[in-house]
Chains A and B, each alone.
Chain A
Amino acid sequence: MRDLLVLFQKEWRENTRNYKILWIPLIFVFFGITEPVTNHYLPQILEAVGNIPEDAMFPFPEFTAAQILMSTMGQYQFIGMLVLVLGFMGTISRERKNGTGTLLYVRPISFFSYFLSKWKVVSIIAIGSVWLGLLTSWYYTELLFGNVPASDFFAFAGTYSVWILFVVTVVLAASAWLPTGGAAGVSLALVLVIQIIDSLLGTYWTISPWKISTYATQWLTGSPTMGDFWWSMAVTIIAIIALMIFGTWMSKRNASKTKV
């Protein structure tokens, strides 16, 4: 497994030198700050912008601290997922397309190491970004709205991390399987479109990877139904492992499509 270490170092250098290690966390931190801050100062912002009749009275909604964290996660569920998909959709397919993969594939590497090295680096960046963002959000929520107990927060962020790992694995497996454009399409369909379908029709079932984010938020207001929660976690982890095997297999099969 020494090739894993060498390839990991290569991936790490790549993501450091193209600054993904910087700008992806920054986006998550940005939403971690703006959600609590804009919600708190909404009345003042509207007043400063003007155009509101003097005597108009708006019943501004009163948000709880938990709701602010949930809406931060709501931003991540759309913009964050878009960033992860678009940021990493070419991780494997690009190396085939531009031919940089060729000089790796002719060496005695194991394709599992190849896939895993990428998975590790992308997971570290994605999970790191999400945690940085959520911790920032938690801090500003504490300042501006009130307390969310640490145990609730960690259960929430921990559960949400499993969903993030699922997303990362989907994106990388798609990139191993298809050209970059196709990988983006499949990833967006699996992450965003099914997410919407699950939230529209999801009352009919309770066990699915797309329920993980809902269960994560339930830790903030109480706790999810334990059976459904653990079954969904188990299904998601099995899906992650299956996707990793699929990704490894596809990396190997598609190695012959690299530009020579």
Chain B
Amino acid sequence: MTLILQAEHLTKIYGAEHAVKDVSFSLAEKSSTALIGPNGAGKTTTLSMLAGLLNQTTGTISLNGETNPDVRKSIGFLPQYPQFFSWLTALEFTEMAAKLSGMDSKHAKIEAQKTLEFVGLGEALKKKTGTFSGGMKQRLGLAQAIVHKPKLLLLDEPVSALDPVGRREVMDLLKNLQQDMTILYSTHILNDAEEMTDQLLFLRKGELVEQGSLGDVRAKYDSPRYLVEFTSEEDALNFAARAPWKVSYRGTLGLIDITNGLPEMKDLLGYLAGSGLTVRKAERQTASLEEIFLKVAGRR
């Protein structure tokens, strides 16, 4: 596993405020990393520093072993709300982007067209970007970020502005890209992070409060439990009162949480079978990323 990017003790201070505080992480080649955290956690600031738009106050960024290099040569960047010159067409813009990243004119034109087709803008090549919808802009933003085949792709909320269909499509595109590029993306849509990530970085108030693979983070914050659903609230109340484990319940449907002193599944089922209560469903649950998120984000 080769490391492509290493950020060490990255800090950005505005006046007296620490927008990003002592953040260190590394990205392995062709891995995908999700940067998650509540609004104002410093996700965009972190990405801007990696993209070379902002200078860090302290700390170092190494790319391919080179310390504080001109990152602009190796990255593709998609801002959260990409803005285009409204008077250029999608093809003109993407072509310009490719040329500015050092591609020669002939290749730039071919690659621009191919990339636009890849992101699903094949029909809109000659349309002025000023007429584009939000979803089209997001796709064009992705196209300009990948047209020059960068090693490292930095995406700020790549799918948050899209409808469910568009989100699905863009996630599939990103999975496709992952075969050739290292991807670091921020998101607050946790399903997406859950779907495509080798590494999670949790930011809160500018600090990296948790990092690791999805499995590791889940194991750390997971509090396994059983959820038993009864047909009536009465049965739920009965269960809560008589069961040999610590039980909490909520709702008229008789939802039962077993949060403490976890039994084996077979013991629970055996107990339920002998209790005469009418059970609709009994399942073992693991924490979703959203629950982990709330735990990490809310941790004092």
**Interface residues, chain A, with chain B CB atoms under 8 Å away:** 2-3, 6-7, 9-10, 13-14, 17-18, 98-100, 102-109, 255-256, 258-260
Task: Give A113 to B83 CA distance when docked, in angstroms.
Answer: 21
Closest 6 CB pairs of A and B: A99-B83, A17-B87, A107-B100, A106-B77, A108-B72, A6-B99
> Are B54 and A13 in contact, CB atoms less than 8 angstroms apart?
no
Residues of B in contact, count (CB < 8 Å): 32
> Are B99 and A2 in contact, CB atoms less than 8 angstroms apart?
yes
Complex partner residue of A14 from B51, B75, B85, B144, CB under 8 angstroms? B85
> Are B73 and A256 in contact, CB atoms less than 8 angstroms apart?
no
Task: Give A258 to B44 CA distance when docked, in angstroms.
Answer: 13
B70 within 8 A of A: yes
Complex partner residue of B87 from A2, A18, A108, CB under 8 angstroms? A18
Task: Give A13 to B47 CA distance when docked, in angstroms.
Answer: 31
> Are B83 and A103 in contact, CB atoms less than 8 angstroms apart?
yes
Complex partner residue of B79 from A2, A108, A260, CB under 8 angstroms? A260
Task: Give A258 to B72 CA distance when docked, in angstroms.
Answer: 16
Return A23 CB to nearest CB of chain B, in Å.
15
Task: Give A240 to B101 CA distance when docked, in angstroms.
Answer: 30
Other CB < 8 Å A-B pairs besides A100-B83, A103-B97, A108-B100, 13 of them? Answer: A2-B99, A3-B99, A9-B96, A10-B96, A13-B92, A14-B85, A17-B87, A102-B77, A103-B77, A107-B97, A256-B54, A258-B53, A260-B53
B59 within 8 A of A: no
Grouping DSSP codes into helix (H, G, I), strand (E, B) and loop, the A interface class, with mixed when no group exceeds half, is helix
**Interface residues, chain B, with chain A CB atoms under 8 Å away:** 44, 47-48, 51-55, 70, 72-73, 75, 77, 79-85, 87-88, 92, 96-97, 99-102, 141, 144, 156
Task: Give A100 to B86 CA distance when docked, in angstroms.
Answer: 9
Return B92 CB to nearest CB of chain A, in Å.
7
> Are A99 and B79 in contact, CB atoms less than 8 angstroms apart?
yes
Complex partner residue of B100 from A6, A102, A258, A259, CB under 8 angstroms? A6
Task: Give A17 to B128 CA distance when docked, in angstroms.
Answer: 11
Complex partner residue of A13 from B87, B101, B156, CB under 8 angstroms? B87
Complex: chain A residue closest to B129, CB-CB? A100
> Are B101 and A100 in contact, CB atoms less than 8 angstroms apart?
no
Complex partner residue of A108 from B44, B48, B80, B101, CB under 8 angstroms? B101
Task: Give A13 to B70 CA distance when docked, in angstroms.
Answer: 29
What chain B residues lie within 8 Å of A104 (beta carbons)?
100
Complex partner residue of A260 from B48, B85, B144, CB under 8 angstroms? B48
